[in-house]
Structure 1
Amino acid sequence: MSGRVRREEAVDVVWSGDWVAERLGVALEGDGELQELLGLALRRNPKRAHLLVSNVLGKHVPQRPSVVYGAGYGLGERVRALLGADDARRAVVLGYAETATGLGHAVADGLRDAPYLHSTRRPVAGVAQAGGFEEAHSHATSHLLLPEDPELLAGGAEAATLVLVDDEFSTGNTVLNTIRALHASHPRERYVIVALVDMRSAGDRDRLTAFAAEIGARVDLVTRSSGTVTLPEGVLERGQALVAAQEAEQAGRAGEAVEGVAPVTRVALDWPAEVPDGGRHGFTPAHRATLEAALPGMAERIAGALDSDVRRVLVLGFEELMYAPLRLGTALEAALEAVLGEGGAEVRYSTTTRSPVLAVDDPGYAIRTRLVFPAHDDPADGPGDRYAYNVAGAAFDAVVAVVDSTADTPELRAPDGLLARLAAHTGQVLLAVVPSYTPTPLQEPAVLPEPLRGPDFSSYAPEDVGWLLQDLSHTELEAPTEEREEAIQSGGAHYAESLPVEYQPSAEYQALFTAALDASAARIARAVGTVTETVLAERGPRPVLVSLARAGTPVGVLMRHWARHRHGLDLPHYAISIVRGRGIDATALRWLAAHHDPADVVFVDGWTGKGAITRELASAIEEFEASGGPGGSAGPAGSAGPAGSASPVGFNPEIAVLADPGGCVRTYGTREDFLIPSACLNSTVSGLISRTVLRADLVGPDDFHGAKFYRELAGSDVSGDFLAAVTARFDEVAEQVEAETKELLAADRAPTWEGWAAVERISEEYGIHDVNLVKPGVGETTRVLLRRVPWKILAKRGAGPDLTHIRLLAEQRGVPVEEVDDLPYSCVGLIHPRFTRGATGADGKAVQGA
């Protein structure tokens, strides 16, 4: 199909997909309106390189609010005609986050009397999850369904038609997966799928027909336009290479020359208290009627706050918050036209997004400019960058930023925040805040789950540890190392949303573990005894050990064994999940607070690297305190708080570790950076338990975080051997432990954070500029070689046999080992920066790991 669209003026207008089509051979084929509706862009995504950019959705391309709303409303009218007035009145509309939340609202409006619900990627404490599903090709994949009315999605013989709304129907996988999941629990006789464009292949169309027959329901499709996308062979790899080249070229240019100088004014909307901010928990016809009556007054307040000479205005929504700013935009259009007359002012509408898309300032490319700013709503997937497209350089006289109150945070107003970014590109910024709606009263929290224990979960004895986790053993969570690394570094996924393929050691490596254990068992026993005696002296007489799964769990078990062997104490021991960037398992903390005195809880980990988890735990406990402690539900952690300070509910965030080479804690067994054999392996030395998993579709607000029990690896399990080898040396090191503990208790053990300073220096020296890619210490370096895509290993000159396994793993993976001086650790692992598929060690071999 031609890359240009002929207009009535007989002037060739460049199609906003030309740039991609010419370079990658991507073609849009379909009806005459298709290229009017869609442009093309490129994104960094390991599953799909191209992005169909809608000109009428109001997400990436600023468009008149009336056009955006009219597109959805018109589709809703077509659904109403298809169903008939009576069935349309009983229909339930479900939209998809984040892109189609406003479109689904508009479709529901076109149906006139239909209630509306949209999926969400933001968990809400106290709201039960009615379902969830995955969007496989998306930048952020997990969707939650959180209706206030649990009967909204109810099925049965007389169930209302379910209308599912998405911006594009590409393969149909997401919608069919949703129907399949909901039909299993809430069957109904009819479904209607609504999309702006239908881009399925002939095979995908046949699949829908077969699917409808399989579930025994009628499935109709209503779209505005249809066509197909032709993708030449190798387009994904070539697209990723093109994105990388463009980003490298743009990184070499000067930054934004304009500083934010526009004033920022807050506008009081007087939003109706009884109207939700959107459809996250449901939006009823009664809500719609109340909002319609209030819109003119809110639009007048916005118009009154605009400077008198403003003629071109952008109403900018916020991620899932699309409908409220869209309707404010339509009302503002009407209000300004009433004052200035038709054509006297131009109002446009778009929203921010979490999807990273390449910007190219070319008329033949759909995303001309990009503003980047940090997330400002404490999102479910942790901190990261967010984006506003086609705003810079668009010559808007004013921008009205509309956010919900959850997103009205200090990050929003930070020097690098959204408001500052907007202020650099317009003459006036208005901030309008819509109250975030949370169902009241909150649903009663579920009964807290009980800990899992061996042998049903883990190979440890049931009395050795209670796992405050849920069993995800039957869920497919593993992904190849390269794919995980690319998704993590590109911001497409959090590391805790999947698991690495569990590393199976070679016979040579297994023999190395055995030799290392024999050589270091006494040294480990000394460290175990020292840290346990310190805890008993300062936190006794009967501390509750809570290890940070999974590296901390073998240490917690050994500390429990020492206390029983030397003092006859039977200390409780639990394992809990903590996730960098997302905090600790708040449900597990509530369980602990309900069963033990929080003041008795001592958090245990294996070792410190640069201290990231130390900071994470302090922040998470602070967040838990702010949420109300045992009676509340803590969300993801925010910025780091002061380590070592107890919260009002009694939890002390200080960590006790076996080894503290980073100088990050004050309770430790040693500050030497030596080989702890439990760091050599993964689950097979940790009770056959995987690392922990936190994904919104699997972990609800009252669930424990998840993990897998690798029962099938029982033949390779050395967890018991590790415990037995160390425990057998307890008596011979007892005198040394007594002397070392006495010395430590009298010493100044304040953290020096020496390791953090070294990591920052190494990050700059090696041009990485991301401390998360620098993993210091023997334990962390081992993890890099087993789980991530290593770039190189820095080894302290003369480190000796503690690094034998490091050198073996590096040799197996083709990773160079660089001998260095002036290193506070025995070694440091560097993860490959700016990872792209296929980039690994110096010899170009693909890295395999766990």
Structure 2
Amino acid sequence: MNNEVNDRVWSGSWVAERLGVELEGDAELTQLLGLALRRNPRRAHLLVSHVLGKHVPQSPSVVHGHGLALGRRVRALLGADEAASAVVLGYAETATGLGHSVADGLGTAPYLHSTRRPVPGVAAAGGFEESHSHATSHLLLPEDPALLAGDGPLVLVDDEFSTGNTVLNTIRDLHARHPRRRYVVVALVDTRSAQDAERLAGFAHEIGARIDLITTASGTVRLPEDVLRRGRELVARYDSATTVPGTATVPDGTRAPEGTPTPVRVELGWPRGVPDGGRHGFWPVHRERLERALPAMAARIAEALPARARRVLVLGFEELMYAPLRLAGELERITDAEVRYSTTTRSPVLAVDDPGYAIRTRLVFPAHDDPADGPGERYAYNVAGGGFDAVVAVVDSVADTPALHAPDGLLARLAAHTPHVLLAVVPSYVPTASPPPQQSSTPQRSRSCHPTRKTPAMLPDPLRGPAFSSYAPEEVGWLLQDLSEVTLEAPIEEREEAIQNGGAHYAESLPVEYQPSEQYQELFHSALESSAARIAQAVGAVTETVLAELPHSRMRSSGGTPIPRPVLVSLARAGTPVGILMRRWARFRHGLDLPHYAVSIVRGRGIDANALRWLAAHHDPADVVFVDGWTGKGAITRELAEAIRAFELSEGVTGFDPEIAVLADPGSCVRTYGTREDFLIPSACLNSTVSGLVSRTVLRADLVGPHDFHGAKFYRDLAGADVSNLFLDAVSARFPQVADAADTTAKELLSADRTPTWAGWAAVERISEEYGIHDVNLVKPGVGETTRVLLRRVPWRILARRGAGAELDHIRLLAAQRGVPVEEVDDLPYSCVGLIHPRYTRAATGADGRAVTR
């Protein structure tokens, strides 16, 4: 096999001929890109860059040179003055090295890249979703929050500009925090449609900013109508093995031969204080220090290489692209060896050994950096059979784990295909409390300062029923502002299209809430009748677990006897009925009268910081226990943890525990739960009429200022259909009969290993990839979320665990009424999963003929 670009055979011809795919546009496109097939029966092709240094080993000078050239074009576009105040932001994982190279081309620009790796103690300064990716959630973790707070140009760098959704989501999030006048989008290739281009232009007009675009080449990918069928057939035919010339067929599970030598470890002498990349920010002063240190580090690698090594691969690691790229470039400069560079990746791609195919071979190995999304496969493409005399694996210290050195780990996989493996470990940068210094020649950027905030004493008291919500005033206090008089509702058609196209955040509007039909009410009452005792037992189990695990710092003394005194804080609104039930259980079983508040948390925007300020002023943060209804894929679990870290960093207030207590944890995302079974909680069947007549929470800049709680509406006009208290009373009435069982369950939980496995998140990512959705937010796992999809969204199909019986009768009924197929599948951790239509194309109506609501 030869990994080099072959001028005679385009590395996209194999796919193009068999699938009828056409790549039209600039002449450079076929030099920059090849084609491959995803290992996915629902999606056919993948564009593979020859100059990115990700899937295809390439000369490091070529890879770095493309980024430098783009950066110089940005500098010419902006002019010297604006370039001096620019900040460059690259996208994980594929564009972290490209973005850094663009910053090098600008010369004086600091650099930051998004990351999918949460870092303890580092608060997120923002986040966004990459809807087309198999791993969608991005974090922004700058060491110095002021890095993104200036008003100079922001340069956003990705390898491919396909729809513009990722860039639009990023700009929307950051512009809401720190508006600026100018953005520049940079990519190697632009394959957007005319409609996508118009949408970005309209968005720029909407926010009053200029958005420029710089790319190396542009064009269009044309797909035949039957591309999915033909793609599935090809994948089925070729996915069983990866052929490497000169060896036997090599399956994915290849192990290194017995007696494989231990890799040679190279001590780089990485300069102290220089970040390993742009995860927390990389400033011009860091660039200068790295440039000075590169020759000595490359010399140490060269000394460790075998004397006759003529072809050497420097292999980076996922987001760690820039450091190995620069090491490879310097090694290329100081040795006579033919040096190539690429990195490992999370992306699963089919390998076919043919000159006209971009991914010739595939090495598969376990993740070795303890990723937040749990264990899984990782890949190195076009390495096996590449004729490399030596491979230098470069990882950061977080990834230098036993899994890296295991018999089935990356190093062993490499040793099976090259005679010499070297390991170089770059120390993972740990941010300090002080921001990094800026070199004197770089103009100082304006630092963001917090707007004048209301003190906790100035914040309003919690809203309570009956003035706000149909719950009794002692049951819950809402740390929200009342927006009942504001028109916030939008039809489902408009909301769904705006949300999926990136034109609006789901928390900026509300679905229209109709009086539930008799059929929906019948479903609720039937579910309540069959599950009230089951819910009561789960309520008891989770409450007893919370009370038993409170540390002494959370206890209050009564007559010399410590008693637990948690402050329940439910995540509005699905968590609020559960918080009330937990409060009732504590009173029923222990005579405790626990405080209970409801607060807003918004995916992608975090928890209401003013609500946390109010809680910290009126209670010990260590007493706070966050409560939610159930876990799906765990997005809110992660959102809360990141938001708490950000609050602690910005406020200096510590003690809040981001652990969430939930009634049901089918996704295995939390430690504190009443059950991990997936069953229908009746409150999932209705909207506000089972949640105290309170809407979803609202976060919109023109309604919620920096001094305000998030907002919500109280639907007094739906009082005739309200079953909020009926639900609570029906479950509470079962407390006496389940008390002993709940105690037994709690004791079992307290002695069990409840470490989250994140099996649900892994399943959601797999489903998103397999069904070609590529947006985990459109995959709604669990019977409760599936019910909501069928009642309130635009359902596409339902996945049901094979063999699930009567417990899914209501799902099958609703699906039949909506004309939605139900597909039985194996290996599903949930009883069912609802898939929202990935591209909104039709109006949605419920079983009662009305437009359904979200």
Structure 1 equivalent of residue 277 of structure 2: 278
Report deviation, 1:275.
Answer: 1.7
Residues 164-313 of structure 1 correspond to what in structure 2 (within 5 A)? 164-170=156-162, 174-175=166-167, 192-199=184-191, 222-224=214-216, 226-232=217-223, 234=225, 238-250=226-238, 252-253=240-241, 255-256=251-252, 258-260=254-256, 261=260, 263-313=262-312
Report deviation, 1:541.
Answer: 5.8
Deviations 1:163-222 (A, max 9, x none): 444334445565566567767776667665544334456676777888878888776655
Report whether the alignment pairs 1:685 with 2:687.
no
Contact 1:116 1:279 in 2 (8 A): yes
Q: Which moved more, 1:273-282 or 1:559-568?
A: 559-568
Report whether the alignment pairs 1:394 with 2:356.
no
1:750 aligned to 745, 748, 751, which one? 748
Deviations 1:639-661 (A, max 9, x none): xxxxxxxxxx998999796999x
Shift in alpha-carbon separation, 1:500–1:348, aligned structure 2, 3 A: farther
Contact 1:782 1:806 in 2 (8 A): no
Shift in alpha-carbon separation, 1:578–1:816, aligned structure 2, 3 A: same
Report whether the alignment pairs 1:65 with 2:60.
yes
Larger relative contact order (Cα-Cα within 8 Å, sequence gap ≥ 6): 2
Deviations 1:314-347 (A, max 9, x none): 111222222111100011112322xxxxxxx221
Shift in alpha-carbon separation, 1:712–1:302, aligned structure 2, 3 A: farther
Q: CA RMSD in A?
A: 6.4
1-structure distance, mates of 2:175, 2:231: 40
Shift in alpha-carbon separation, 1:522–1:71, aligned structure 2, 3 A: closer
Q: Which runs of 5+ in 2 are unaligned?
A: 242-249, 436-447, 501-505, 551-562, 699-705, 758-765, 772-780, 790-796, 841-846
1:24 aligned to 3, 19, 22, which one? 19
2-structure distance, mates of 1:532, 1:211: 47
* 1:23 match: secondary structure: helix
Shift in alpha-carbon separation, 1:477–1:182, aligned structure 2, 3 A: farther
Shift in alpha-carbon separation, 1:252–1:459, aligned structure 2, 3 A: farther
1:791 aligned to 760, 778, 800, which one? 800
2-structure distance, mates of 1:557, 1:375: 41
Report deviation, 1:300.
Answer: 1.4
Structure 2 equivalent of residue 557 of structure 1: 580
Report deviation, 1:368.
Answer: 1.9
Structure 2 equivalent of residue 317 of structure 1: 316
2:593 aligned to 563, 566, 570, which one? 570
2-structure distance, mates of 1:498, 1:215: 15
Structure 1 equivalent of residue 725 of structure 2: 723
* 2:300 match: secondary structure: helix
1-structure distance, mates of 2:224, 2:678: 49
Shift in alpha-carbon separation, 1:592–1:416, aligned structure 2, 3 A: farther
Deviations 1:254-287 (A, max 9, x none): 8347422353333221111132222333333322
Shift in alpha-carbon separation, 1:92–1:579, aligned structure 2, 3 A: closer
Report deviation, 1:139.
Answer: 3.9
Deviations 1:662-695 (A, max 9, x none): 9x99997x999998644655765345789999xx
Report deviation, 1:61.
Answer: 0.9
Structure 2 equivalent of residue 829 of structure 1: 831
Contact 2:122 2:645 in 1 (8 A): no
* 2:723 match: secondary structure: helix
* 1:399 match: secondary structure: strand
* 2:292 match: secondary structure: helix
2-structure distance, mates of 1:831, 1:96: 30
Shift in alpha-carbon separation, 1:466–1:130, aligned structure 2, 3 A: same
Structure 1 equivalent of residue 340 of structure 2: 348
Q: Which moved more, 1:310-319 or 1:78-87?
A: 78-87
2-structure distance, mates of 1:501, 1:67: 51
1-structure distance, mates of 2:203, 2:425: 43
Contact 2:664 2:678 in 1 (8 A): no
User: What amino acid maps onto 1:97 in structure 2?
Assistant: A
Deviations 1:457-493 (A, max 9, x none): 976456424679999998999999x99xx9xxxxxxx
2-structure distance, mates of 1:542, 1:218: 53
Residues 388-427 of structure 1 correspond to what in structure 2 (within 5 A)? 388-427=380-419
* 2:432 match: secondary structure: coil
User: What amino acid maps onto 2:595 in structure 1?
Assistant: P
* 1:511 match: secondary structure: helix
User: What amino acid maps onto 1:67 in structure 2?
Assistant: V
Contact 1:80 1:88 in 2 (8 A): yes
* 1:750 match: secondary structure: helix
2:48 aligned to 53, 56, 73, which one? 53
1-structure distance, mates of 2:407, 2:719: 53
Instruction: Calculate the TM-score normalised by the size of structure 2.
Output: 0.66
User: What amino acid maps onto 1:387 in structure 2?
Assistant: Y
Instruction: Calculate the TM-score normalised by the size of structure 1.
Output: 0.66
* 1:74 match: secondary structure: helix
Contact 2:695 2:715 in 1 (8 A): no
User: What amino acid maps onto 1:570 in structure 2?
Assistant: D
Shift in alpha-carbon separation, 1:692–1:354, aligned structure 2, 3 A: farther
Contact 2:476 2:596 in 1 (8 A): yes
| Percent identity of equivalent pairs | 61
Shift in alpha-carbon separation, 1:72–1:384, aligned structure 2, 3 A: same
Q: Which runs of 5+ in 1 are unaligned?
A: 1-6, 338-344, 487-495, 634-648, 694-701, 760-767, 774-778, 819-826, 839-844
* 2:8 match: secondary structure: strand
Shift in alpha-carbon separation, 1:528–1:93, aligned structure 2, 3 A: closer
1-structure distance, mates of 2:329, 2:293: 13
Alignment coverage as a number of residue pairs: 739
Contact 2:361 2:383 in 1 (8 A): yes
Report whether the alignment pairs 1:514 with 2:528.
no
Structure 1 equivalent of residue 328 of structure 2: 329
* 1:334 match: secondary structure: helix
1:367 aligned to 343, 359, 367, which one? 359
1-structure distance, mates of 2:368, 2:830: 33
Contact 1:262 1:426 in 2 (8 A): no
Report whether the alignment pairs 1:115 with 2:110.
yes
Structure 2 equivalent of residue 699 of structure 1: none
1-structure distance, mates of 2:786, 2:228: 25
Contact 1:146 1:280 in 2 (8 A): yes
Report deviation, 1:435.
Answer: 2.1
Contact 1:790 1:830 in 2 (8 A): yes
Residues 133-144 of structure 1 correspond to what in structure 2 (within 5 A)? 133-144=128-139
Report deviation, 1:412.
Answer: 3.5
* 2:335 match: secondary structure: helix
User: What amino acid maps onto 1:441 in structure 2?
Assistant: A
2-structure distance, mates of 1:62, 1:469: 54
Contact 1:544 1:573 in 2 (8 A): yes
2:96 aligned to 85, 91, 101, which one? 101
Shift in alpha-carbon separation, 1:43–1:578, aligned structure 2, 3 A: farther
Contact 2:678 2:782 in 1 (8 A): no
User: What amino acid maps onto 1:685 in structure 2?
Assistant: V
User: What amino acid maps onto 2:725 in structure 1?
Assistant: L
User: What amino acid maps onto 1:276 in structure 2?
Assistant: P
